[in-house]
Amino acid sequence: MKVGITGGIGSGKTTVCKIFEALGIPVYYADTRAKWLMAHDPVLVAGIKQLIGTKAYFGDGGLNRAFIAEAIFGNNEKLQKLNHLVHPAVAEDSERWHNAQKGAPYTLKEAALFFESGNDKAMDKMITVFAPEALRIQRVVERDQSNPESVRARMDKQMPEEEKIRRSDYVIHNDGQHSLIHQVMDIHRELLRLSQHYATR
Ligand code: ATP
Protein backbone atom coordinates (compact mmCIF):
# COMPACT_ATOMS: atom_id res chain seq x y z
CA MET A 1 0.00 0.00 0.00
CA LYS A 2 1.31 3.44 -0.96
CA VAL A 3 0.75 6.38 1.35
CA GLY A 4 1.59 9.97 0.42
CA ILE A 5 2.38 12.65 2.98
CA THR A 6 2.38 16.36 2.30
CA GLY A 7 1.90 19.74 3.96
CA GLY A 8 3.02 23.31 3.47
CA ILE A 9 6.56 24.53 4.00
CA GLY A 10 7.57 24.10 7.64
CA SER A 11 4.42 22.17 8.56
CA GLY A 12 6.55 19.34 9.96
CA LYS A 13 6.41 16.69 7.20
CA THR A 14 9.98 15.53 7.79
CA THR A 15 9.53 15.52 11.57
CA VAL A 16 6.41 13.34 11.21
CA CYS A 17 8.15 11.02 8.72
CA LYS A 18 10.95 10.43 11.23
CA ILE A 19 8.34 9.04 13.65
CA PHE A 20 6.97 6.71 10.96
CA GLU A 21 10.56 5.64 10.21
CA ALA A 22 11.06 4.86 13.90
CA LEU A 23 8.05 2.53 13.56
CA GLY A 24 9.85 0.71 10.74
CA ILE A 25 8.02 2.30 7.80
CA PRO A 26 10.24 3.09 4.79
CA VAL A 27 10.03 6.74 3.66
CA TYR A 28 10.83 8.12 0.19
CA TYR A 29 11.79 11.81 0.45
CA ALA A 30 10.73 12.96 -3.03
CA ASP A 31 12.26 16.45 -2.92
CA THR A 32 15.68 15.18 -1.84
CA ARG A 33 15.52 12.34 -4.33
CA ALA A 34 14.46 14.73 -7.13
CA LYS A 35 17.63 16.74 -6.61
CA TRP A 36 19.67 13.54 -6.78
CA LEU A 37 17.91 12.39 -9.96
CA MET A 38 18.41 15.80 -11.59
CA ALA A 39 22.15 15.23 -11.23
CA HIS A 40 22.34 11.47 -11.89
CA ASP A 41 19.52 10.26 -14.16
CA PRO A 42 21.02 10.44 -17.70
CA VAL A 43 17.68 10.97 -19.46
CA LEU A 44 16.70 13.72 -17.04
CA VAL A 45 20.12 15.36 -17.26
CA ALA A 46 19.87 15.44 -21.07
CA GLY A 47 16.37 16.92 -20.90
CA ILE A 48 17.43 19.62 -18.44
CA LYS A 49 20.47 20.55 -20.54
CA GLN A 50 18.22 20.89 -23.57
CA LEU A 51 15.71 23.04 -21.70
CA ILE A 52 17.99 25.23 -19.54
CA GLY A 53 21.39 24.90 -21.20
CA THR A 54 24.59 23.05 -20.40
CA LYS A 55 25.38 25.64 -17.70
CA ALA A 56 22.69 23.91 -15.59
CA TYR A 57 25.58 21.63 -14.56
CA PHE A 58 29.05 22.29 -13.19
CA GLY A 59 32.09 20.72 -14.83
CA ASP A 60 31.99 17.85 -12.32
CA GLY A 61 28.36 17.03 -13.20
CA GLY A 62 26.92 18.65 -10.07
CA LEU A 63 23.64 20.52 -10.36
CA ASN A 64 24.01 24.31 -10.68
CA ARG A 65 20.86 25.12 -8.72
CA ALA A 66 21.48 28.86 -8.72
CA PHE A 67 21.71 28.92 -12.54
CA ILE A 68 18.55 26.82 -12.88
CA ALA A 69 16.68 29.00 -10.38
CA GLU A 70 17.68 32.11 -12.31
CA ALA A 71 16.70 30.56 -15.66
CA ILE A 72 13.19 29.70 -14.47
CA PHE A 73 12.63 32.78 -12.28
CA GLY A 74 9.60 34.60 -13.69
CA ASN A 75 9.42 32.19 -16.63
CA ASN A 76 6.37 30.11 -15.90
CA GLU A 77 6.52 28.19 -19.16
CA LYS A 78 10.07 27.02 -18.47
CA LEU A 79 9.15 26.11 -14.90
CA GLN A 80 6.22 24.02 -16.17
CA LYS A 81 8.49 22.28 -18.67
CA LEU A 82 11.06 21.55 -15.98
CA ASN A 83 8.32 20.12 -13.76
CA HIS A 84 7.15 17.94 -16.66
CA LEU A 85 10.64 16.49 -16.88
CA VAL A 86 11.26 16.04 -13.16
CA HIS A 87 7.85 14.86 -11.88
CA PRO A 88 7.55 11.77 -14.13
CA ALA A 89 11.18 10.81 -13.37
CA VAL A 90 10.48 10.97 -9.63
CA ALA A 91 7.18 9.12 -10.06
CA GLU A 92 8.93 6.27 -11.89
CA ASP A 93 11.83 6.18 -9.43
CA SER A 94 9.51 6.13 -6.41
CA GLU A 95 7.43 3.34 -7.98
CA ARG A 96 10.57 1.23 -8.41
CA TRP A 97 11.61 2.05 -4.84
CA HIS A 98 8.15 1.13 -3.50
CA ASN A 99 8.21 -2.24 -5.28
CA ALA A 100 11.60 -3.01 -3.73
CA GLN A 101 10.28 -2.56 -0.13
CA LYS A 102 9.17 -6.16 0.08
CA GLY A 103 8.68 -6.64 3.81
CA ALA A 104 6.97 -3.33 4.57
CA PRO A 105 3.21 -3.27 5.28
CA TYR A 106 3.05 0.12 3.54
CA THR A 107 5.45 2.81 2.34
CA LEU A 108 5.39 6.57 2.75
CA LYS A 109 6.29 9.11 0.08
CA GLU A 110 6.91 12.63 1.32
CA ALA A 111 6.63 15.63 -1.02
CA ALA A 112 5.83 19.32 -0.60
CA LEU A 113 3.92 19.61 -3.89
CA PHE A 114 1.87 16.43 -3.99
CA PHE A 115 -1.55 17.56 -5.11
CA GLU A 116 -0.02 20.33 -7.24
CA SER A 117 1.92 17.72 -9.28
CA GLY A 118 -1.01 15.28 -9.49
CA ASN A 119 1.17 12.55 -7.96
CA ASP A 120 -1.44 11.97 -5.24
CA LYS A 121 -3.41 9.97 -7.83
CA ALA A 122 -0.78 7.21 -7.65
CA MET A 123 -1.26 6.87 -3.85
CA ASP A 124 -3.74 4.69 -1.97
CA LYS A 125 -4.02 7.13 0.95
CA MET A 126 -2.94 10.72 1.57
CA ILE A 127 -1.88 12.42 4.82
CA THR A 128 -1.58 16.19 5.29
CA VAL A 129 0.51 17.67 8.10
CA PHE A 130 -1.01 20.94 9.24
CA ALA A 131 0.42 23.75 11.36
CA PRO A 132 -0.75 27.36 11.70
CA GLU A 133 0.99 29.81 9.36
CA ALA A 134 2.66 31.91 12.06
CA LEU A 135 4.19 28.81 13.65
CA ARG A 136 5.41 27.50 10.29
CA ILE A 137 7.09 30.82 9.53
CA GLN A 138 8.70 30.91 12.96
CA ARG A 139 9.99 27.32 12.63
CA VAL A 140 11.40 27.78 9.11
CA VAL A 141 13.05 31.11 9.98
CA GLU A 142 14.76 29.37 12.90
CA ARG A 143 15.66 26.24 10.94
CA ASP A 144 17.02 27.96 7.79
CA GLN A 145 18.19 31.26 9.31
CA SER A 146 15.91 32.93 6.73
CA ASN A 147 13.40 35.77 6.99
CA PRO A 148 9.59 35.74 7.22
CA GLU A 149 9.15 37.46 3.82
CA SER A 150 11.00 34.75 1.88
CA VAL A 151 9.08 32.01 3.72
CA ARG A 152 5.78 33.77 2.90
CA ALA A 153 6.81 34.07 -0.76
CA ARG A 154 7.34 30.29 -0.90
CA MET A 155 4.03 29.68 0.88
CA ASP A 156 2.19 31.77 -1.70
CA LYS A 157 3.22 29.31 -4.43
CA GLN A 158 1.65 26.36 -2.60
CA MET A 159 -1.93 25.14 -2.56
CA PRO A 160 -3.95 26.45 0.45
CA GLU A 161 -3.77 24.11 3.45
CA GLU A 162 -7.58 23.74 3.65
CA GLU A 163 -7.60 22.35 0.11
CA LYS A 164 -4.86 19.81 0.94
CA ILE A 165 -6.79 18.72 4.03
CA ARG A 166 -10.00 18.41 2.02
CA ARG A 167 -8.26 16.10 -0.43
CA SER A 168 -6.55 13.97 2.25
CA ASP A 169 -7.64 10.86 4.12
CA TYR A 170 -5.83 11.89 7.33
CA VAL A 171 -4.64 15.13 8.88
CA ILE A 172 -1.92 15.47 11.51
CA HIS A 173 -2.10 18.65 13.60
CA ASN A 174 1.43 19.83 14.34
CA ASP A 175 0.46 22.95 16.24
CA GLY A 176 2.24 22.25 19.51
CA GLN A 177 -1.13 21.45 21.16
CA HIS A 178 -1.70 17.90 19.93
CA SER A 179 0.68 15.00 20.53
CA LEU A 180 2.41 14.10 17.26
CA ILE A 181 3.30 10.62 18.47
CA HIS A 182 -0.31 9.76 19.40
CA GLN A 183 -1.63 11.01 16.06
CA VAL A 184 1.03 9.08 14.10
CA MET A 185 0.33 5.93 16.15
CA ASP A 186 -3.43 6.16 15.44
CA ILE A 187 -2.86 6.51 11.69
CA HIS A 188 -0.16 3.83 11.71
CA ARG A 189 -2.54 1.35 13.37
CA GLU A 190 -5.27 2.15 10.87
CA LEU A 191 -2.84 1.79 7.94
CA LEU A 192 -1.57 -1.53 9.26
CA ARG A 193 -5.17 -2.74 9.41
CA LEU A 194 -5.90 -1.50 5.87
CA SER A 195 -2.65 -2.89 4.48
CA GLN A 196 -3.85 -6.42 5.28
CA HIS A 197 -6.67 -5.94 2.75
CA TYR A 198 -4.20 -4.65 0.17
CA ALA A 199 -1.93 -7.65 0.79
CA THR A 200 -4.76 -10.05 -0.03
CA ARG A 201 -6.04 -8.12 -3.08
P1 ATP B 1 9.90 21.84 4.48
O2 ATP B 1 8.61 21.92 3.73
O3 ATP B 1 10.59 23.14 4.53
O4 ATP B 1 10.76 20.70 4.05
P5 ATP B 1 8.81 20.30 6.69
O6 ATP B 1 7.34 20.33 6.48
O7 ATP B 1 9.52 19.02 6.35
O8 ATP B 1 9.52 21.53 6.02
P9 ATP B 1 10.16 20.11 9.24
O10 ATP B 1 11.52 20.34 8.67
O11 ATP B 1 9.80 18.76 9.73
O12 ATP B 1 9.03 20.62 8.22
O13 ATP B 1 9.88 21.15 10.42
C14 ATP B 1 10.24 22.52 10.30
C15 ATP B 1 11.06 22.93 11.53
O16 ATP B 1 10.18 22.94 12.64
C17 ATP B 1 12.19 21.97 11.87
O18 ATP B 1 13.28 22.70 12.37
C19 ATP B 1 11.58 21.09 12.96
O20 ATP B 1 12.57 20.59 13.84
C21 ATP B 1 10.64 22.06 13.67
N22 ATP B 1 9.44 21.37 14.20
C23 ATP B 1 8.58 20.61 13.50
N24 ATP B 1 7.60 20.15 14.30
C25 ATP B 1 7.86 20.63 15.54
C26 ATP B 1 7.21 20.51 16.81
N27 ATP B 1 6.09 19.81 16.97
N28 ATP B 1 7.78 21.15 17.86
C29 ATP B 1 8.91 21.86 17.71
N30 ATP B 1 9.56 22.03 16.54
C31 ATP B 1 9.05 21.42 15.47
Q: How confident is the model at residue 197 (pLDDT cuts 50, 70, 90)?
A: confident
d(CA 180, CA 165): 17
pLDDT score for 201: 66
* Among 159, 134, 130, CA closest to 148: 134
Residue nearest to atom 30 of ligand 1 (CA): 139
Mean pLDDT of the 157-163 span: 92
Residue nearest to atom 24 of ligand 1 (CA): 12
For residue 92, count other CB atoms closer than 10 A to its CB. 13
pLDDT score for 174: 97
Q: Where are the domains of the chain?
A: 1-26+104-201, 33-100
Q: Over the stretch 84-118, which tens digit does the pLDDT of each residue have?
A: 999 999 999 999 999 999 999 999 999 998 998 88
**Among 16, 35, 139, 143, which is best to mutate for testing ligand 1, by the most ligand atoms less than 8 A from CB?**
139
H-helix or E-strand spanning residue 107: strand 107-110
Mean pLDDT of the 163-177 span: 97
Say whether pLDDT at 56 is over 90: yes
Whole-structure pTM value:
0.92
Q: Which atom of ligand 1 is nearest to the CA of 175?
A: 27
Q: Report the CATH number of the 1-26+104-201 domain.
A: 3.40.50.300
